[in-house]
Structure 1
């Protein structure tokens, strides 16, 4: 039997990679630093229900994720519902779904509304045949929508996602996002929440002979041409013939030894983190799943209402709303105390929803994540790092590798399939060599 593969990181990419490998007979040890698996899919308990710390949904175009759910016997447990979009501009919440909604959208002049509707319908087609990877989002969208739409609507939305570098993000990002969403108003959510998916992946890995360990932070990672040595926080070492790291590249450089660090790709992407506040309300807001919040005096710049997608029963007959702000992990907001954020954002939510009172807010939770969205430079397709680290048996599977696809569970599952396929190819190509050379040992 081939030796054990070590997977560092228990988010969806690490779990999906380990799942693929054990299904093909390769023994795997998965190491997760925190006490929970799932990465951005981690959860907490509220009224005896498990709730995701960060919002998620399944799109009908998420073919890789849906195929994985099929393997786990969970695809039929995804419940699909039509969802709507709103827009909070200057403190006023407006629907933003139909041609009539657009015609009534008074923050834009009538001519701009008509232009916005026509261009939006044709946007995917207008990007065909263009080198959008080397075209600034601002240049592309301003040319199509005009200066006023860009400044009043699009620039604040992209600034909310990518910070001060928003205008320089490749237009290819938006084009790919439109391809994923395909103008679909239908979204899905698995019964039992995303915890049910994480639990099923762990069960699959362990049933196939794999080992899943949590609360085991990696202190050091070394790689030679023939092996990988992982040193854990308590000094334990795990040696394997191959390893897969799903750790974000900035964090990976912090644990790689000097020789390995010199071989890592010299791509130093800035990352946006996120501050996410969850409001459990006694009554719904607008009924719109997604609503950007622009020029409304709030720190948060987007709202996601989960209840239209999931129903209120799983939250104890309450309505769950996520308010988020993407921001650098070095920002003042990111470093601010969660209780202070909770109080201020509650006041801000009440200020833009006049039908909501403090008595309607039943529970507030704040969570942060430091590495959520890489900010890609122009021309990143040519500079995107390989998943293989030259001269080592270490493979990388991070959000820096999914571009031009949008960062999502679906793109992470696709990447997991690519990385697992490379390992399986090597194992099948030279089974005798693998059987003798692959080894794994653990010692304190």
Structure 2
């Protein structure tokens, strides 16, 4: 039996792939809920994710899985809208004429910004189309230094810096240029006249989690089950210890996939991960009214949250019983930060005041409900040298034979963490078990995975 530690989308994807390859699997999830960061709240209509999600056209693995699980008719490709909020004004930034009208960049600034997003290096006399081909070439280049060299100071200060502040806060100057270029390559398909196209499932991503659970089999998944130990005696994984409300049990395993954050891996195996992670505080608001015409609002002005997302300018309100749904969210670099130490009601009060400051027409009486979620590790800090710190899928050499990793510190979650990356990580770990390993009998009579 293969034991999978973690019932998020990576763990479910690993279990699904292993079963496809004919392996017996058991998934152990410490919480009572499956899906990890793709968990949901109920609304007057479809559920909505606790942490915002959407798909890019470049994310082929998750799209293929959606089709494979029979959910293809639920997948919609919708035009998203994004804007910058500067000096109390919302500036749409989707269409060429909107970008041309943006008053905080010169025409030359916009030219340099556009060339970078098209991956064209115009620093020399002749444009170069292959400068940005290899992300590894920019792994050790500071992002600020790169942007000042490859665009202009105004582009950095008036466009990129507010985005980096929202994304990485005090760690922004630790981030590598490779992350930024990876994000440029990661971007979705764009219609010149209508903007970027993003994907979303009717009913949210809960149906995907449900379909994976059904495919794996609920009888093969245990929630409220914390794996507290992996027995790796004799340099081979032998068993895992599971703690539930009913007591502690030991389960023999042929291999184990740790599909969880790297701190869980370290607790179970001693394998250290040097990647730093950020936490997130994220509130979902239900209101009676729309406040903007845009989906994703980047904030250049001071605000108590890092981003303001009007979800129902992407997915229509009728899907949610005519509720208008919003996200306010901030990354947290250190648990000592004031925002992290606030309780949910304090966060919501602070952020409601922030919404009122941004939108004078906002009335607190229009709020139907608000729910706040937080997680101490929602995204890596993609600092310089990041690729040297990723955790290998196969930990046979570093820990013991039969130990594999599929969490957020894996290579699939670079240059940005995503549901697609989680599925790719789960598949990659499963493939290494089934393709790179053979089953052999051991002297004590049970099977083990060997190279």
* CA distance in structure 2 between the partners assigned to 1:151 and 1:342 by the alignment: 30
Corresponding residue for residue 407 of structure 2: 398
* CA distance in structure 2 between the partners assigned to 1:299 and 1:434 by the alignment: 62
Offset, 1:122: 3.7
Offset, 1:223: 2.3
Equivalences for 1:5-16 in 2 at 5 Å? Answer: 5-16=2-13
TM-score normalised by length of structure 2 = 0.88
Offset, 1:410: 0.7
Offset, 1:367: 0.8
Corresponding residue for residue 227 of structure 2: 218
* CA distance in structure 2 between the partners assigned to 1:80 and 1:203 by the alignment: 25
> 1:303 and 2:314 equivalent?
no
* CA distance in structure 2 between the partners assigned to 1:375 and 1:386 by the alignment: 18
Corresponding residue for residue 158 of structure 2: 152
Q: How many residues align?
A: 426
Corresponding residue for residue 90 of structure 1: 87
Report Cα offsets for 1:184-218 as digits up to 9, x if no partner. Answer: 311111122211111100000018xx611111223
Offset, 1:403: 4.7
| The 10-residue stretch of structure 1 (92-101 or 60-69) with the greater mean CA deviation from structure 2 | 92-101
> 1:323 and 2:320 equivalent?
no
Corresponding residue for residue 74 of structure 2: 77
Counterpart contact for 1:228–1:393, Cα < 8 Å: no
> 1:228 and 2:239 equivalent?
yes
Corresponding residue for residue 335 of structure 1: 341
Corresponding residue for residue 291 of structure 1: 297
1:117–1:426 Cα change, 3 Å: closer
Corresponding residue for residue 199 of structure 1: 210
Corresponding residue for residue 258 of structure 2: 245
* Alignment RMSD (CA, Å): 2.4
* CA distance in structure 2 between the partners assigned to 1:364 and 1:54 by the alignment: 13
* CA distance in structure 2 between the partners assigned to 1:98 and 1:58 by the alignment: 20
* CA distance in structure 2 between the partners assigned to 1:357 and 1:394 by the alignment: 54
Offset, 1:90: 3.0
Corresponding residue for residue 58 of structure 1: 55
1:404–1:195 Cα change, 3 Å: closer
Counterpart contact for 2:240–2:250, Cα < 8 Å: yes
1:270–1:238 Cα change, 3 Å: same
Corresponding residue for residue 379 of structure 1: 385
Query: In structure 2, the residue corresponding to 1:236 is in which secondary structure?
Result: strand
* CA distance in structure 1 between the partners assigned to 2:106 and 2:237 by the alignment: 64
> 1:128 and 2:123 equivalent?
no
* CA distance in structure 2 between the partners assigned to 1:291 and 1:377 by the alignment: 25
Report Cα offsets for 1:262-301 as digits up to 9, x if no partner. Answer: xx1x4321101111011112122223221211223x1111
| The 10-residue stretch of structure 1 (59-68 or 39-48) with the greater mean CA deviation from structure 2 | 39-48
1:434–1:45 Cα change, 3 Å: farther
> 1:414 and 2:411 equivalent?
no
Counterpart contact for 2:56–2:189, Cα < 8 Å: no
* CA distance in structure 2 between the partners assigned to 1:123 and 1:434 by the alignment: 60
Offset, 1:368: 0.6
TM-score normalised by length of structure 1 = 0.89
1:18–1:141 Cα change, 3 Å: same
Greater helix share, 1 or 2? 1
> 1:190 and 2:187 equivalent?
no
Counterpart contact for 1:133–1:171, Cα < 8 Å: yes
Q: Which one of 46, 56, 79 corresponds to residue 43 of structure 2?
A: 46
* CA distance in structure 2 between the partners assigned to 1:273 and 1:116 by the alignment: 30
Report Cα offsets for 1:394-427 as digits up to 9, x if no partner. Answer: 1111111125332101111111111110111255
Corresponding residue for residue 358 of structure 2: 352
1:204–1:91 Cα change, 3 Å: same
Q: Which one of 315, 318, 326 corresponds to residue 313 of structure 1?
A: 318
> 1:117 and 2:114 equivalent?
yes
Equivalences for 1:250-265 in 2 at 5 Å? Answer: 250-253=263-266, 255-256=267-268, 260-261=269-270, 264=271
1:199–1:436 Cα change, 3 Å: farther
Query: In structure 2, the residue corresponding to 1:275 is in which secondary structure?
Result: strand
Query: In structure 2, the residue corresponding to 1:399 is in which secondary structure?
Result: coil
* CA distance in structure 1 between the partners assigned to 2:367 and 2:109 by the alignment: 38
Counterpart contact for 1:169–1:378, Cα < 8 Å: yes
Offset, 1:75: 1.9
Counterpart contact for 1:92–1:352, Cα < 8 Å: no
